[in-house]
Amino acid sequence: MAAPPRRPWKVLAAFCGASAVQAGGLGPVQELADIAEIRVHALRNPSLQELTRAVQTQQPSLLYLSSGLQVVDTNSGIDNISLRPLEFKDTKDKSKAVDPQEVVAALDDAGLDTLLIDAKLPENSAEKLRAASARNVVFWSSTQPAAAVAVAVASRAFFAALREPSVTAAEAFHLATQALRIQCLGERKGKAQPPVLPQLLSSDSAECPDNSTIPEPGPMQVEEGRLLDTSRGMAAAVPGWVALRLLAPAADVRLLLAASPTAVDSSRLGYLGEAMRAVLVVEVRAARLTCTAAPDRVPPYLPPGSEAVRCSCRSASGAPFSVILGGPAEVVRETAVVEHAVRHLLVADALAFSVAMPPPAVPAPLARSSEAVAGGAPVIDVLASTSLWAAGLLKTLAQDKGYRALVALGVGAIGGVAVAGGAPHDGT
């Protein structure tokens, strides 16, 4: 699938301290390594001075800092493996923890868009970094130790979301926290226990994107080359705008979620629904109209004077799908207006995606596994309600090996189609 070209940008990943270096590879940044327009540069066990020079030389948009893991309680299990504080190489080539204020000073005026820190960091230091170095800072508070698996899930989901060029740091953070809630939700005394979450410092809100994130249309060229002034809104510019309708039949679709049967609770499924709504909105808010055609038949329930048009589109990731738009005849013939209307109506429809709990009398679904789904991990059936176009689009995305958002959420299959975006590093 051919997605629109993206602007080139740079990522600098600094694996600080011997622990981070021993892990090898690019960690969660591997999610971006295969995108030609993204240049990834890695530092291994740098000193603070080397980090500062690299930032000045590379001028990255995103800086990732990781200090690796440490065992918090040797008498317990894997959940007590947590983040280390930031460590850097000293003059004797030995790694040691540094005062967070030294990191703040080293990154002063770095001009970053995003700084992601997989290390324990005091909140006041993160606030200083936000003020002096980056528009968006994602970090793990030193007051709440996060489990290693939670850090891995969140960071991979964050970078997986950034594969789509239009996704902001706040939107990637939203998807990452939803992935964390889906896959790492615990239980205590029969009640859902939320995991420790990373924190975001940003002027943008970390929430599910909606119609407000649709690109502004600007002046539109319509019939006979006339420019349509949209500065006062589409309803004022286009008579009949409010009468446009997306003719979208409802559909149920089964998801296979990598989880145990105990995962079927209202909290976890609510997080899954929220994440899937975000996935759909990101794909359709800038959908490209590739062609229009008359449908096989005009739906009889359209008001008099209306027409219907089949709109063939491409999603943000390049996935093809089609929908039918109905409305006043003079409006649905204007290609530029139709494209913008389709975006608005698709986003509104995507936000209706929901995941249902099984009825009270129905037993919890049994976990099963197959090597063809989620790498053989146990999966359970989950039923979602959406529209026919959305179900088709999700199944198309599932077949794209380069599409990683579904993998990040733990979705193994959609409507009988196995998610093909899994990679060997998913288990690391």
| DSSP per-residue codes, 300-353 | TTSPTTEEEEEEEEE-TT--EEEEEEEEEHHHHT-HHHHHHHHHHHHHHHHTT-
What residue has token string 């820190």?
Answer: 117
Least confident of 42-51, 211-220, 383-392: 211-220
**Residue pair 44/26 in contact by the 8 Å Cβ criterion:** no
Average pLDDT over residues 144-164: 92
Higher pLDDT, 267 or 40: 40
Distance CA 170, CA 142 (A): 21
What torsion, rounded to 10 degrees, do the Cα atoms 313, 374, 210, 402 define?
A: -50
Contact between 381 and 323 (Cβ < 8 Å)? no
Cα distance between residue 409 and residue 199, in whole Å: 19
168-180 pLDDT, tens digit per residue, is: 999 999 999 999 9
What pLDDT, on the 0 to 100 scale, is given for residue 163?
Answer: 94
At residue 77, the pLDDT reads: 46
Q: At 295, which amino acid appears?
A: P
* pTM reported for the whole predicted model: 0.91
pLDDT digits (tens, 9 = 90+) for 315-368: 999 999 999 999 999 999 999 999 999 999 999 999 999 998 877 777 777 778
Q: Between the CA atoms of 29, 18, 141 and 57, what dihedral angle is there, to the nearest 10 degrees?
A: -50
Q: How far is CA 87 from CA 102, 118, 318, in A?
A: 11, 12, 41
**C-alpha distances out from residue 92 to 47, 199, 356, Å:** 10, 34, 58
- Does position 188 have pLDDT exceeding 80, yes or no? no
C-alpha dihedral sign at 192, 384, 365, 153: negative
pLDDT level of residue 13 (50, 70, 90 thresholds): very high
pLDDT band at 189 (very low <50, low <70, confident <90, very high): low
44's CB contacts (< 8 A; 6+ apart) are 15, 21
Residue 297 to residue 2: CA distance in whole angstroms: 30
pLDDT for 356:
86
CA dist., res. 249 & res. 256, Å (int)? 23
Mean pLDDT of all residues in 70-99? 73
